[in-house]
């Protein structure tokens, strides 16, 4: 983690939070980060992978703040988190609003792919015959 801290220290940062369910049915949350310097072309750093037990806004907020503390300890400047990227789930939106109170410069952006998937699910629901034909 020291190399990650050296690379991210004193930078404007983005955080990416993504949830998934593993084969055992556990809700896993990945917290990734990288610098917003315009030159960062590498993969983001995986700061933490957590079994959060339930997808709730409090768990997402704790995952982000816990990952920050794990990497930076008490040295973290709360003004350096500038971008949070999550999916568009209701609990993620609520987590973003909660984190905005801690991180005054943060902008919360949701992934367009998740929004498009929700539209596709709505279309499937509205047109069950077409859904049956396609599947």
pTM: 0.80
Q: Average pLDDT by consecutive 10-residue portion of the chain (135 residues)?
A: 87 90 84 87 90 85 93 88 91 94 94 84 89 81
Question: How far apart are the C-alpha atoms of 99 and 105, rounded to whole Å?
Answer: 10
Range of the domain at 24: 2-134
Query: What is the residue-wise DSSP string for 88-131?
Result: --HHHHHHHHHHHHH-TT-EEEE-HHHHHHHHHHHHHHH-HHHH
The pLDDT value given to residue 48: 94
The pLDDT value given to residue 27: 78
The pLDDT value given to residue 75: 80
Indicate the DSSP class of residue 12: -
- Count of the separate structural domains present in the chain: 1
Q: CATH number of the domain that 53 lies in?
A: 3.30.420.40
Q: Are 91 and 60 in contact (CB under 8 A)?
A: yes
């Amino acid at each position: 983690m020291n190399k990650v801290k050296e690379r991210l220290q004193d930078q404007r940062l983005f955080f990416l939070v993504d949830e998934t369910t593993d084969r055992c049915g556990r809700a896993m949350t990945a917290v990734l980060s990288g610098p917003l310097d315009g030159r960062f072309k590498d993969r983001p750093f995986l700061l933490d992978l957590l079994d959060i037990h339930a997808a709730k806004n409090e768990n997402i907020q704790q995952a982000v703040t816990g990952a920050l503390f794990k990497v930076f300890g008490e040295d973290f400047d709360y003004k350096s988190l500038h971008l949070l990227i999550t999916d568009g789930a209701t609990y993620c939106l609520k987590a973003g609003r909660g984190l905005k109170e801690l991180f005054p410069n943060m902008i919360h952006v949701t992934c367009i792919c998740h929004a498009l998937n929700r539209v596709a699910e709505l279309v499937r629901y509205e047109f069950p015959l077409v859904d049956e034909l396609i599947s």
